[in-house]
Amino acid sequence: MVLWSLDCPPCRAELALLGEIYQENPRLRLVLISTDDSSQAQAAQGILHKNGLSKVESWIFGEPNAQRLRYEIDAAWYGELPRSYFYAANHTRVSVSGALKPQQLETWLALN
């Protein structure tokens, strides 16, 4: 699960990387969540389409209280972006703040 925003330059670079990985692994279970207001849904979909991610499950914050949504996702997350969560088969998760590196994704894919 990857949280991102339209006004986050590292997020855009990460979406490009995720698009490349997804094209190589179309069965990758990936969920993208834009932390932007729902009024920006069309722009968010445009970015996903540009990066080859239009078929990936994606969501956008619809609640005007973004702080509450962030807390619901992870009480230890204070809104820094990009923010990613890797879920293992046993339902444990590992969180990563900051842009993902190709090696991190490749290692995760190899293990799961």
Closest by alpha carbon to 45, among 63, 58, 26?
Answer: 58
Q: Supply the range of the domain harboring residue 58.
A: 2-111
- pLDDT value of residue 106: 86
pLDDT given for residue 49 in this prediction: 98
Stretches in the chain below the pLDDT threshold 50: none
Number of structural domains (the chain) is: 1
* CATH value at residue 53: 3.40.30.10
Answer yes or no: are the C-beta atoms of 54 and 48 closer than 8 Å. Answer: yes
Residue 27's pLDDT is what? 87
Specify the pTM: 0.93
CA distance 70 to 61: 10
Per-residue pLDDT, 88? 86
Tokens of 83: 């923010």
Residue 94: alpha-carbon gap to chain centroid: 13
Reading phi first (left if > 0) and then psi (alpha if -120 to 50, else beta), residue 103 is in: alpha
